Structure 1
C-alpha cells in the first residue's frame, strides 16, 4: 500500500488485530439513496484510494443497498493483499419479506454469513457484527451461531452495534459463562454532538477491553460546517433527506460547532478534521468510521490524523454538550 506511512494503526480493543485509525464506512457505496455515490466504478476507485492511503479497515453490512455495498467492496478488494485487510460486515436487518428474513436467529445469522461471504468474494470475514439487539431471539442462540462461525473459520472476530449497556453486558457475561467467543468491539453512534453513549456503552467498553468504532463521527455532515444556522438544508444534501441529521440542528449543537470552527481556525485544519481529531482523543475510541463520497473528502478525513489538539481545545469542544442517555 503506497503512502501507508501517513496512516496510524492500533489494536482493536484487547485483541491482537491491527486496524487503521480510520475505518472506511461503505454504506455510501450503492444506489439506495440519492446522497450515495451511486456509481460502481467511482465507488471502487474510492476504495482503492483508501487502501493506497493505508486504510486497511472497511465496514459494510448486508442491508446496505440490499447487498450491493458488500458486492462493490468484494470487487474493490479482489486485487488487494487479503492478509492486510480487515473486512467487517453486519447482520440483523431484513433481507427479504418472508419468514426468517431478518433478526438474529441461528438460521438467519448462518444463512446471511454465507451470503455475505459470497458477495464479498472472500473465504472469511474478519469482523462479523450484530447490527442491533434482537428482542425475539435468546442471546444464547445468537452467540452460539456466532461462535460456530468462528470455530468453522468463516469469521475471525465478532462485534456488536447500538444497544443498551445492559444488553451488551448481558451478552458479554453470557459468552463468559457459556464459553462462547466474546465480542471484540462495539459500534455506537458517537461524535462531538452525539455523546449519549458516554453514559451508556462507552463505560462498558472501557471496563471490558472492547474496541470502539463510532459511526457517524461527523454527525451526517453537521460537524463539517456545511449547514447554516437558521437555514434549511439545501436539496441533495443528506440533511435534506434525513430527519435524523436535521435533529442535530439544536442550540446546544450549534454551540459545539462554533467551538469546532474556532479550533479549526487556530490549527489551520478544517472543521471535519478537528471533529475527527477530537474523537480520536476520546477513550476508548479505536477507529471512527468515515463515509467519504469523494476523493477530496477521503483525503480531508485522513488529514485529521495529523491534527494535534491541546487539552484546552479538546475541553472547549466538549464543554457545550452535556452527555445524557438516552439522547434527547
Structure 2
C-alpha cells in the first residue's frame, strides 16, 4: 500500500478509505446494514491489505457504527496505526441541541463519539453539514479548542458550497485556529458538479479530498435499476433515489458498462479507478456490504486509465442540480 498525505498536513492515509456507514444495526440503515459478526471480516480484510483509514459518523446507526469501529480497532489493530475519522452535526435526538454545530453540541458530541469509539482522541473530526443557525466563528473556535485539548488531532468538513468552505477557512486563518485539512464531497461519474468550484479550490488550497459515494451508492456497480435493485441496500436505500436515477444517469451507467466490458474489467472497478485518477482526489470512501466489493475496490487502485477511456466515460455527462448538501 502506498500511503499519501491528507492535503498539506503530515497525516498519512491509505489511498482508499473504508466507509463504515453500513456497519452496525440501527434505525437509519437497519434494512441493509451489517451486524457485528457480519462486519468483522471487512475490517480484517481491510487491515490485511494495508487500509489504515476508516470513516464513520455519530449518526450512522445512531452510534452503532462508531461503537463497532472502536471495538474492531481495539481488538484488531494498534490504535496509533489507524486513522479514525468521524463526523458531527446530524440529528442525534429530539432535543433542540441534539444537532447542529454550536459549541454546546460540539462539546457533547465529541465526548459521545469518544465514548462509543473507546478512544481518547479522534484523528479527523468533520463537520457533516453546514449549520445555517450557528455563526461559523462559534463552530470554528469550539473545534480549535478540541484540538488544543487533544481530543481531536485534525478537523475536516463535508458537503457544502465552495463559498461556505472558503469563508470557513478564512475565519480559521484569521483567528489562528485549527484549519480544515480535508473536504468530503459527493463525487462520482454521475455527479460531477464539484468539478466546477470545490475541487479546483481544494487543489489550490492544499486541501485533501476524500469523496463520499464514489460508486453513487451502488448505482455504478450495476445493482441499481429503475425498478429497484438486486441487493438489500438497493431495495431499501430511498436516499439514493433523491441523488441519482435521472435519465442522464442511466446513460452514463450504460456507457460505463460498455467501456468496462471492452476493457475486460467490472463497472465497479472502472468507476472507482476513474474517481481515484481525477486531479486532487486523495482517497475515495468505499462502502461495502459484501467482501467481493471490498476486493474490487482494492483492485481499482492498481488500474491506470488512458485518456481515451476517460474521455468515453465522461462524454455523456450533463449538468445536474446541486445535491447532497443537506
1:308 deviates by 1.5
Aligned residue number for residue 167 of structure 1: 164
1:325 to partner: Cα distance: 5.4
Q: Is the 8 A contact 2:56 2:66 kept in 1?
A: yes
Q: 1:21 aligns with which of 6, 15, 33?
A: 15
Runs in 1 of length 4+ with deviation above 4 angstroms? none
Measured at CA, do residues 272 and 116 of structure 1 come closer, stay the same or move farther in structure 2, by a change above 3 Å?
Answer: same
Q: Does 1:127 align with 2:124?
A: yes
Instruction: Determine whether 1:312 maps to 2:302.
Output: no
Q: Which moved more, 1:241-250 or 1:257-266?
A: 241-250
Task: Answer yes or no: is the 8 Å Cα contact 2:32–2:232 preserved in 1.
Answer: no
Cα offset for 1:311?
Answer: 0.9
SS of the residue 1:77 aligns to: helix
Q: Secondary structure at the match of 2:7?
A: coil
CA contact (8 A) 2:224 2:230 kept: no
1:41 is matched with which residue?
A: 37
Counterpart residue number, 2:183: 186
Instruction: Quote the Cα distance in structure 2 between the aligned partners of 1:133 and 1:185.
Output: 15
Give the whole-Å Cα distance in 2 for the aligned partners of 1:294 and 1:204: 35
Q: CA deviation at 1:180?
A: 0.6
How do residues 228-243 of structure 1 correspond to structure 2 at under 5 angstroms? 228=225, 231-234=226-229, 237-243=232-238
Are 1:116 and 2:110 matched, yes or no? no
Instruction: Give me the whole-angstrom Cα distance separating, in 2, the residues matched to 1:112 and 1:125.
Output: 12
How far apart, in 1, do the equivalents of 2:93 and 2:261 lie? 48
Alpha-carbon distance, 1:21 to partner: 0.8
Structure 2 stretches of 5 or more lacking a match? none
Q: CA deviation at 1:262?
A: 2.4
Gaps of 5+ in 1: 1-6
Deviation per CA, 1:16-74: give whole Å up to 9, x if none: 11111110000001223244333212212311221111110000001111111000001
Alignment RMSD: 1.7
- In the superposition, the TM-score normalised over structure 1's length comes to 0.93
Distance in 1, Cα, partners of 2:231 & 2:268:
19
1:150 equivalent to 2:143? Answer no
The separation in 1 between residues aligned to 2:219 and 2:2, in whole angstroms, is 26
1:213 is aligned to 2:210: yes
What secondary structure is seen at the aligned counterpart in 2 of 1:306? Answer: coil
Contact 2:16–2:286 under 8 Å retained in 1: yes
Give the structure-2-normalised TM-score. 0.93
- The size of the alignment, in residue pairs, is 320
2:299 corresponds to which residue? Answer: 303
Look up the match of 1:4: none
Tell me the residue number matched to 1:3: none
2-structure distance, mates of 1:296, 1:286: 23
